Chains A and B, each alone.
Chain A
Amino acid sequence: MFVLVVGGGKVGYYLAKELIENSHEVVLMEKDRDRAAQIADEIGSIVVAHDGCEGKYLGEAGCARADIVAAVTGDDEDNLVICQMAKRHFDVPRTIARVNNPKNEALFRHLGVDEIISPTRMILGSIEQDIPVHELLHLAALGEGELEIIEAHLQDGSPAIGRAAGDLTMPVGCSLFAVVRDGIASPLLPDMRLRVGDKVIAIGPSECSVKLHEQLIGAVDVEASPTV
């Protein structure tokens, strides 16, 4: 596959390196000439020392025949523009943007970027998994951002404990599809009885979180509800 990587920071550098090791064709664009020369010294002449946000240089770097464009600069707005130019102007089938501000994820998806990688969100998710206060954890947004994958950590006092998964009343368009029990993931079957410590994975529209919370965690205490 031909992958055009824009942004020669740490992420872009290691990404390009790994892709080459996996026998993909790679071009890396980095606008800082010194940094571009340094990368070229280390991994070979695949570096274009130009700004990947400029339409002219994207074209010269072969954007029109790229299978994938990965925009991994440190600036969200640059990554958005690179992906939109690639998608709309050069008909690239698959665009991937790095997003630093998690709030931009839904916007970028709405504006046509195919895949969004948010390191901030991943670290946040990892931290929140260790903090029991957030019993409902939003793992990922899908589609245009209307659907979410949500994890519910069942604890003592949850109305779902001891009940069969099929007996729970789920909001319209929301379904429970997997359970992680003792570190092992398995499909959540309707006759499976839920236990304390289970992590139930649900998919549904974002607005169903309140109902999910009621069913799996307990009634939402409006005053003390965590901002999930």
Chain B
Amino acid sequence: MKIVIVGAGRVGSVLAEAYDAAGHEVVVLDLSTRAFDRLPSEFRGSAVRGDGTDEDTLRRAGASDADVFLALTEGDNRNVMAAQVAAEKLGIGKVVAKINDPVRAAAYADLGLAALCRTTLQADAISAYLGLGPLGLPSVIEPTGSHHGGAAHAPLAESLDGAAHSQEA
């Protein structure tokens, strides 16, 4: 699979390393080249400095034929915008945006983006550790509605879903 990751933070770089080692074609984008220091020296994918919300930059980085697009920068809104460019302009089938505000995460799932909410993910992990049970709030929210200009995205692959969980928790 060709996997594009926007934001080479902790989560982004851990996923880039893992998918690259698993034999996938990985493209990582970040605004700062220093972020790429997190990638291991044996990383064979491409690391591109640029704005992941910019369609031209994404195309130049080779994102137009990607199978999976992960928007994992520090900013919820940057992730939302990058994910929408990926889904709408590049037509990428599986798009995940990290959205830490639970209200926004649910709203965008209604709009057809798969949303990953670290807030509820961590709250659930803590509750589970304390034996207090889950809070009943979704952490990886499947897209429920269809995106503005396109069909609803296919459900996420088991492997990807599982990987996202284990890295964050």
Q: Which of B28-36, B104-112, B123-131, B152-160 contacts A (4 or more CB under 8 A)?
A: B104-112
Interfacial chain B residues near A103, Cβ < 8 Å = 54-56
Residue from B53, B77, B88, B103 whose CB has the most chain A CB atoms within 10 Å: B77
Most buried by A among B75, B103, B110: B103
**Chain B interface mostly:** helix
Q: Are B77 and A75 in contact (CB under 8 A)?
A: yes
**Closest 10 CB pairs between A and B?**
A55-B103, A77-B77, A77-B81, A81-B77, A89-B107, A78-B77, A77-B78, A55-B104, A81-B80, A54-B101
Interface size on A, residues (CB 8 A): 20
Closest A residue by C-beta to B54:
A103
A to B CB contacts below 8 Å, 8 in the list: A54-B104, A55-B101, A76-B81, A78-B77, A84-B111, A85-B107, A89-B110, A103-B56
Q: Which of A42-82 contact B (CB under 8 A)?
A: 53-56, 75-78, 80-81
Number of B residues whose C-beta is below 8 Å from A?
Answer: 22
Contact between chains at A107 and B78 (CB < 8 Å): no
Q: Does B85 make an interface contact (CB < 8 A)?
A: yes
Q: Are A53 and B76 in contact (CB under 8 A)?
A: yes
Please tell me if B59 contacts chain A, counting CB pairs below 8 Å: no
| Residues of A88-120 whose CB lies within 8 A of B | 88-89, 101, 103, 107, 110-112
Question: Which residues of B in the span 88-125 have a Cβ within 8 Å of any Cβ on A?
Answer: 88-89, 101, 103-104, 107, 110-111
- Which of B53, B101, B107, B148 makes the CB contact (< 8 A) with A111? B148
A73 to B64, CA, bound (A): 30
Taking the closest CB of chain A, its distance from the CB of B119, in whole angstroms, is 11
Q: Cβ of B104 and Cβ of A81 under 8 Å apart?
A: yes
